[in-house]
Amino acid sequence: MGARPEDEEDGEVIGVRERGAGAETCSVCGAGLEERRIIYTQMRTGKLHVFADVPALVCVQCGEEYLSPETVDAVQKAFTEREATETIEVPLYRFERARA
Ligand SMILES: [Zn+2]
């Protein structure tokens, strides 16, 4: 595996922001947020871990996802204390550099 050091780092949250208390609008674009269930992913010891059906607020315009601190805590706790419900196969695409 040609993973760079940052890929090995535990606790890296991909594409999800922790929501500040009382935030009602997207801090990226200012649009409204709606409650949705999202898929939360995290690299742990070089393996992608997936947490499904996580409650989040999602920006209706840009899609930015916000988790409450309580939800982040619950997810982190589950990642370390629970066994995975199931193991799934995930297609991997690698971005290829254009050739000159
Ligand atoms: Zn937004």
CATH number of domain containing 12 = 3.10.20.860
Q: Residue 19's pLDDT band (boundaries 50, 70, 90)?
A: low
Whether 93 is in a domain gets the answer: no
Whether 95 is in a domain gets the answer: no
Looking at the structure of the chain, the number of domains it has is 1
Contacts of 12 (CB under 8 A, 6+ apart): 6, 42, 43
Q: What pLDDT shows up at residue 97?
A: 84
**Does the pLDDT value for residue 61 go beyond 50?**
yes
Q: From the CA of 91, how far away is ligand 1's center (Å)?
A: 28
Please state the rounded mean pLDDT for residues 89-100: 85
Whether 69 is in a domain gets the answer: yes
Q: From the CA of 12, how far away is ligand 1's center (Å)?
A: 21
Q: Measured between alpha carbons, how far is residue 65 from residues 3, 14, 55, 87, 93 in Å? A: 26, 10, 10, 24, 23
Q: Measured between alpha carbons, how far is residue 40 from residues 1, 13, 60, 85 in Å? A: 23, 8, 18, 15
Q: From the CA of 59, how far away is ligand 1's center (Å)?
A: 5
Q: What pLDDT shows up at residue 2?
A: 42
Range of the domain at 34: 8-81
What is the model's pTM? 0.68
Q: Tell me the pLDDT of the chain averaged across its residues.
A: 82
Q: From the CA of 3, how far away is ligand 1's center (Å)?
A: 31
